[in-house]
Structure 1
């Protein structure tokens, strides 16, 4: 009889809200993430910003590739004191400027920040500095393109841009790589081109 009571108690414990929450957490399926090539004739800009916690030192980076996933250019730069939002916007602005300089007019913009949704929907934000960046992007830069598509991707699919942003912390002057990626990013660029899937664990 004691064994039956203990079994019933265990069943009630497993069915409690806390246990359900724990069970759901440990059994979440990982999300497959991969970088996708743009359509023929399009170029794709992936961008990212990086901010070092307490110091507040920020850097930016990005990478531009074509429909074959060929590396066209990458950029990295230290931008001094800034928060993560400003770093992300600065990374996007710099990338757009470089794309325009190269006369690529059909562009796919992709980042792992929710700012892409704000930019796409032209939402207003309270911070004046952030709004200034967004307004410049929407009113000055984006109208210069023939076609523009904006999307969000998880960080696992934005690894190349993230790596460039991390490299920016080590730079004294802004740097641009053309046609051939630096060794630090080469493996990631090749994996993206091959369609490697990276699993994102749900948290």
Structure 2
């Protein structure tokens, strides 16, 4: 896949949990190649494992971007395992996220070009704030 960065839309996603037995939220912010805000989401997902939550956040971003008709997409997450699983379809995911990863791989086919990038947590501060709002939207 030959992907030039011109015209890409970027979705930063993150997760917040208020403790091991408390609610979790996912959030994401979408911007165009000029960093202009396009959309965002914040959603409560109840209690969940961090790995599952991170994967659910990416799946939600893919669904939203697909519904917007976006064709060139960058997904940024601070979870390197999930990012690497989505970069390499040959890698088998842990059983707990296998079906969500498969969903993501299927949704990815709607895009002309899709890139998955790992980012440091500090780079996802807006997505982190949205995920925090999601914990209250249970």
Return the TM-score normalized by structure 2.
Answer: 0.90
Q: Following the alignment from structure 2 to structure 1, what is the Cα–Cα distance between the partners of residues 87 and 17? A: 24
Offset at 1:74?
0.6
**Which segments of 5 or more consecutive residues in structure 2 lack a partner in the other structure?**
none
Alignment of 1:1-203 (within 5 A): 39-114=5-80, 115-122=82-89, 123-127=91-95, 129-138=96-105, 140-172=106-138
| Contact map agreement 1:60 1:168 (CA 8 A) in 2 | yes
Offset at 1:133?
0.6
Please say which structure displays the higher CA radius of gyration.
1
Offset at 1:40?
3.0
CA deviations over 1:44-73 (Å, ceiling 9, x no partner): 011112223232421100010001100000
Offset at 1:96?
0.7
| Contact map agreement 1:51 1:87 (CA 8 A) in 2 | no
SS at match of 1:74: strand
The two structures, once aligned, show a CA RMSD in angstroms of 1.5
Aligned pairs, how many?
A: 133
Consecutive aligned runs of 4 or more in structure 1 exceeding 3 Å deviation: none
Offset at 1:39?
3.3
Offset at 1:93?
0.7
| Contact map agreement 2:17 2:135 (CA 8 A) in 1 | no
Bigger RCO (CA 8 Å, 6+ sep): 2
Q: Following the alignment from structure 1 to structure 2, what is the Cα–Cα distance between the partners of residues 57 and 83? A: 10
